Amino acid sequence: MTTAAAPSGAPAGPAKPIGEAGRPPVAARRARSGGGTPAMIGRSLRRLPRQPDTVIISVALPVMLLLLFVYVFGGALDAAGGRTAYLTYVVPGIIVLASGWGAASTAVAVAADMTNGIIDRFRSMPVRAPAVLTGHVAASLAANAVATALVIGIALGLGFRPDAGVGGWFAAIGVVAFYVLAITWVSVALGLLAGSPDAANGMTFFILFLPYVSSGFVATDTMPGALRAFADHQPLTPVIDTVRGLLVGGGADGSDLAAALVWCAGILLVGYTASAVIYRRRSAR
């Protein structure tokens, strides 16, 4: 939609104001329009460490949760294997849970942008329309990378001993990143849909809740019927099982991996499309 500025001379327009030497042609005064995504990513990254609540939710809370699960529930939940066995079991669940939190805060950031007027300024600039959204998504990926690294680091300190090789690690990181990307775009859509940051916060509730009803913290076959059926068929279970398989299970189960990829691709498609549509709708009235 945006076009490159004419290479030389001013575009057909009004006569230049007289007086002085006249203004130099637009093309000479600035580069061409479009893009803007790197600048937006830079913006969102700068903002990250300046939001204490986001830092706490996406970094400190996962760590606390890890400790809570391992030391408070760990003994009771899996008396046979002891804490270390439960630690090995629960780390992939914590990683995915933390990803959800990081992603959910994106909804709040997007909703804030949409309601406080800055979006009007961005939209009146020659910037690729959803660059601002891309910036938030990139920030979410970065925040999640930090949180995930922290959780894994602490888990290693507590005795977490993954048996994955380099390939396994890359595959696990790739799956988590794909999941984060997908769920972040859903958060973006929710943030666009919400009328305010508070509403956006409320709407991401299910993202925060889903991991608990999955194979993340206890095996699904310990759950009562209906809950188990849900847990077995919701997207997080294959994602968590895949990560668990890759890190500590000697390789991912093929059907888990396929299910995880299909779920993430589907969620990404829905989230991205919904974001694009809602963004355009909310902008072009």
Partner 1 sequence: MTMPTTTDAGMDAGREPLASPLPPPSPEPRPPVEAVGPAIRVRGLRKAFGDVTVLDGVDLDVAAGHVHALLGPNGAGKTTLVRILATLLRADAGEATVAGHDLARAPGRVREVISLTGQHAAVDELLTGEENLWLAARLFRLPRAVARRRVAQLVESFDLAGFSRRLVKTYSGGQRRRLDLAVGLVSDPEVIFLDEPTTGLDPRSRQGVWDVIARLADGGATVLLTTQYLEEADQLADLVSVLDGGRIVAEGTPAALKARLGAERAELTFPDDATYARAVATLRAAVPTQPTPAPPAIPPSPATAASPPAPDADGTAATEAGLAPAASPGAGDVTAAGAGGVDADPVARRVGVPTDGTAAALRRLLDDLDGRGIEVARVELRVPTLDDVFLALTAGSASRKESR
CB 241 within 8 A of CB 93: no
> CB of 7: closest distance to partner 1 in angstroms?
13
CA 229, 235, 236, 238 torsion-angle sign: positive
Sheet strands (E) in the chain: none
Among 46, 161, 233, 281, which residue interacts with partner 1 (rule: CB under 8 A)? 46
The answer to whether residue 118 forms part of the interface with partner 1 (CB under 8 A) is yes
Residue 27: DSSP 8-state: H
**Token pair belonging to 89:** 């079991």
CB 175 within 8 A of CB 80: no
Among 9, 39, 219, 254, which residue interacts with partner 1 (rule: CB under 8 A)? 39
> CB of 198: closest distance to partner 1 in angstroms?
16
Helix (H, G, I), strand (E, B) or coil at 110: helix
Q: Within positions 58 to 87, which residues make up the interface with partner 1, using CB under 8 A?
A: none
Among 8, 30, 221, 225, which residue interacts with partner 1 (rule: CB under 8 A)? 30
**Binding segment (CB under 8 A) for partner 1, from list 45-53, 173-181, 234-242, 251-259:** 45-53
Among 8, 21, 157, 225, which residue interacts with partner 1 (rule: CB under 8 A)? 21
The answer to whether residue 8 forms part of the interface with partner 1 (CB under 8 A) is no
Cα–Cα–Cα angle for 282, 40, 148, rounded to 5 degrees: 105
The closest alpha carbon to 278, from 121, 122, 109, 129, belongs to 129
Residue 22 or 195: the one with the smaller Cβ distance to partner 1 is 22
Helix (H, G, I), strand (E, B) or coil at 32: coil
Binding mask 124-143 for partner 1 (x = CB under 8 A): xxxx----------------
Among 9, 53, 82, 116, which residue interacts with partner 1 (rule: CB under 8 A)? 116
Contacts of 110 (CB under 8 A, 6+ apart): 133, 136, 187, 188, 191, 192, 200
**Binding segment (CB under 8 A) for partner 1, from list 31-39, 193-201, 210-218, 264-272:** 31-39
> CB of 133: closest distance to partner 1 in angstroms?
14
Among 45, 47, 55, 146, which residue interacts with partner 1 (rule: CB under 8 A)? 47
CB 243 within 8 A of CB 172: yes
The answer to whether residue 235 forms part of the interface with partner 1 (CB under 8 A) is no
Number of shown-chain residues binding partner 1 (CB under 8 A): 52
Side-chain half-sphere CA neighbours of 8 within 13 A: 0
In order, the DSSP letters of 161-219 are -----HHHHHHHHHHHHHHHHHHHHHHHHHHHHSSSHHHHHHHTHHHHHGGGGTTTTS-
**Binding segment (CB under 8 A) for partner 1, from list 95-103, 115-123, 208-216, 261-269:** 115-123
The answer to whether residue 120 forms part of the interface with partner 1 (CB under 8 A) is yes
Among 8, 121, 221, 225, which residue interacts with partner 1 (rule: CB under 8 A)? 121
The answer to whether residue 117 forms part of the interface with partner 1 (CB under 8 A) is yes
